[in-house]
Amino acid sequence: MADVLPGERPQLAPPVDDTGPLGWVRKNLFSSWGNGITTVVLIVAIGWILSGFLHWAVFTATFDAKSGAECRGHGACWALIREKYRYIFFGSFPYEQHWRPLFAVVAMLAMLILSSDRRMWNKRLIAIWGVGSFVAFLLMFGQIHISLGLILFVALAAGGLGMILRGAIATPGELNGWRALAAVGALGLIGRITGVIPTWSLAIAPLSYVETGLWGGIPVTLILATYGLVFAFPFGILLALGRRSNLPLIKGLCVGFIELIRGVPLISLLIMASVMLPLFLPSGMTIDKFLRAQVAVILFAGAYIAEIIRGGLQSLPKGQFEAADAMGLNYVQKTTLIILPQALRVVIPPLINTFIGFFKDTSLVLIIGIFDFLNTANQALVDPNWAGFPGEVYLFAAFIYFCFCYSMSRYSKHLEIELNKGTRR
């Protein structure tokens, strides 16, 4: 090659030994005697376990049976799942009404799938979630009564938020709109409390009412996990920002809250919410058990999400804060336009990992007697006609959990690649 000029060397093909499937096998599986033996032993072991499992789960399994007795002596009793799947999926929800939780689940899954597309990450998504959630809960409850007090409260909250968040950028006309909304809400609430305005409620009642005590299975798990995280996310952002605040009181409160929540197991929070909270409420006042569990999940997830987001905030170079300051952006503008978009981008993959964890952690609500998916699967075992096949039921439950968690995991991977594609630093 001595007579080839630099820059004119021909592109040579790689040595044949290293390419193609055979080359791959030789290089990765049989590169030495030791590796070869390991490969053979592992292939035999995997084959043995797999054939045993298939024998049990497929070849000798019972797919159709009137009761557990017909399954005995054979392999897996999938007839049990066939018999009980409606209960496992939807719990004690009235049997002939099962289409309602089914469509509620479809609505929630549709919202989640829509939200997974980055092109949908804009204001429209909030509207989609508003409408979708309303449909899902209307299907689950059957009837929704919206009291005047709640409407007024929402008006006050929306007006107040609009004034704060849009205050710096809105036109005077828009700002007056927010002010008017908040004022109507505030005055109306005062009127309601003092009794000047009579009570009234808007009833949307197309279906029969089903209380939360009868909810169960997949919808319960999905609602607890989804809404737990939807609300925990902004809550966690506020906690993370508060923890970095210069105001000692805000900082102290946030640190205290985060450390307190992180210092106790979720189970203890759930037990507190279900057993202890009612003791502190004035007599006659009750808060739905499901709602209490939901709030406990939100508080718990919020503290963990806050710590992840804080990591993202800390990963930003100081110069980003300084550049935003030097331009004259105020705190809200700096945080929403410069800091959070960058910090959240960094923490999306670890956030989704936390989401996967919380999706499974919601199964702890079975401790306080809420029938989430794992708990309904558990209850399906109680039927004496079908006693003795826990393996099948748990395998089925594990499979469903796996489908959810694995898709989230794949999504996290996909998003990581997507976000790194335009590495813009």
Can you tell me which of 94, 325, 398, 413 binds other proteins, judged by CB under 8 A?
Answer: 325
164 makes contact with other proteins (CB under 8 A) = no
Residue 423 in contact with other proteins, rule: CB under 8 A:
yes
322 touches other proteins (CB under 8 A): yes
Closest CA to 222 of 323, 110, 87, 372: 372
Interacting residue with other proteins among 43, 169, 193, 255 (CB under 8 A): 169
Question: Is position 337 an interface residue for other proteins (rule: CB under 8 A)?
Answer: yes
Please, are residues 236 and 306 in contact by the beta-carbon 8 Å criterion?
yes
Contact between 256 and other proteins by CB under 8 A: the answer reads no
CA gap 210, 171 in Å, rounded: 45
Does 168 participate in binding other proteins (rule CB under 8 A)? yes
Among the listed residues 22, 120, 205, 323, the single contact to other proteins using CB under 8 A: 323
Q: Of these, 286, 328, 384, 417, which contacts other proteins (CB under 8 A)?
A: 328
- Is the torsion defined by CA of 352, 354, 360, 365 positive or negative? negative
User: Least distance from C-beta 159 to other proteins, angstroms?
Assistant: 22
If binding is defined by CB under 8 A, does position 246 make contact with other proteins? no
Whichever of 324 and 393 has its CB closer to other proteins, that residue is 324
317 near other proteins, rule: CB under 8 A: yes
We find the least distance from the C-beta atom of residue 145 to other proteins, in angstroms, to be 42
Q: Does 326 bind other proteins (CB under 8 A)?
A: yes
In the bound state with other proteins, the residue whose beta carbon lies nearer, of 52 and 167, is 167
Name which position in 333, 353, 407, 412 contacts other proteins (CB under 8 A): 333
73 in contact with other proteins (CB under 8 A): no
Q: Check binding of 245 to other proteins (CB under 8 A).
A: no
For position 313 contacting other proteins by CB under 8 A, the verdict is no
Residue 106 binding other proteins, by CB under 8 A = no
Rounded distance between C-alpha atoms, residue 309 and residue 239, angstroms: 9
From candidates 248, 319, 382, 384, binder to other proteins by CB under 8 A: 319
Q: How many CB atoms lie within 10 A of CB 71?
A: 22
Q: Please report, in angstroms and rounded to a whole number, the separation of the first and last CA atoms in the chain.
A: 42
Please pick, from the candidates 329, 367, 400, 408, the single residue that binds other proteins as defined by CB under 8 A.
329
Residues numbered 275 to 304 that lie near other proteins (CB under 8 A) are none
Applying CB under 8 A, which residues contact other proteins?
A: 168-169, 317, 319-320, 322-330, 333, 337-338, 341-342, 345, 422-425
